[in-house]
Structure 1
């Protein structure tokens, strides 16, 4: 190699090395995730044909005890509560699929449901009562043998009936309905002999037609109502528990209960 060529190559290498040292550093990666937006709205799933817990009034507006309770809790949590009617028999799927964020509509706390969803502390007790026609001859649970009994599909009434295996097996048929009002209409029409229903709902309707319906002294057991959430929503559950405790302490929950039931039924 010629001396002149060698000198030129060395000079070029020096220039390139110097340029490499002076190159600006590459900008930092910008793939970091942006902080999640704060939650401001909660979608509450409910059965809109479940008075007095949640139903539509003469103006077709959603009203009820649980709706008033949820609105007050949401206000204290700084959250807007949107109420969404759903197929109550598919409530767990609606919650898991994140189409709703809470189930708040006379939801009974059961061990089976605890496997899929998280529950708030119970806020009221309920019984599964037996409603029959006042003109009929059914006086006891034993009289239901050979009879057609109705209940809401996917409700805790069905679970309560099935727990009492002896009585349940004595039925001619256990017929399920999309809602309790339809079941009670079938009772009035003579297509059913009895309806097993949540006490808060059953007595609401019986009071309206006391000459037509009668409630048996026996029932299918005591249960508790709670609010259902996804198991991973631990922070939301903690905020809900705090707001409900505050509402019980300052008397707001009792005020809402008295509005709908004439007395404080809050647990």
Structure 2
């Protein structure tokens, strides 16, 4: 896992785990795919995207840790933009477009936590 990440801190707090750190995600994904690691712990969307885009023989499983919420940064005063973004997201969820985009880019439905 990445040195100094929140994921490393989670595993240190859990205790009893042999943690190996790497400079970045591509390096430990390569070691996982080559069988030099048993498992990795990271964001499910990042792992899904990299596994799919790099055609790696790995798969994300389970949910561990906390679910972090994502946001779209904008000026508080731009209420029209906020309404437009919220409406677009609501529409993407309603017609299953968000689920389809998640499958395309991450190999999983991102409309569900």
Shorter-chain TM band: 0.5 to 0.7
* Contact 2:98–2:110, Cα closer than 8 Å, also in 1: no
Specify which structure has the higher proportion of helix: 2
Alignment of 1:241 onto 2:89:
no
Question: What TM-score, normalized by structure 2, do the two folds share?
Answer: 0.55
Shift, 1:171, TM fit: 4.4
Specify every segment of 5 or more residues in structure 1 that has no aligned partner in the other structure, as ranges: 1-149
Q: Which residue of 1 aligns with 2:96?
A: 251
Alpha-carbon distance between aligned partners in 2 of 1:253 and 1:233, rounded to the nearest angstrom: 27
* Contact 2:98–2:111, Cα closer than 8 Å, also in 1: yes
Q: Report the count of equivalent residues.
A: 108
Specify which structure has the higher proportion of strand: 1
Which of the residues 156, 163, 166 maps onto 2:14?
A: 166
Q: 1 or 2 for the larger relative contact order (CA 8 Å, sep ≥6)?
A: 1
CA-atom RMSD, angstroms?
A: 4.0
CA shift in 2, pair 1:254/1:233, >3 Å = farther
Question: What TM-score, normalized by structure 1, do the two folds share?
Answer: 0.30
Alpha-carbon distance between aligned partners in 2 of 1:175 and 1:214, rounded to the nearest angstrom: 20
CA shift in 2, pair 1:263/1:193, >3 Å = closer
Per-residue Cα deviation, 1:89-118 (whole angstroms, up to 9, x for no partner): xxxxxxxxxxxxxxxxxxxxxxxxxxxxxx
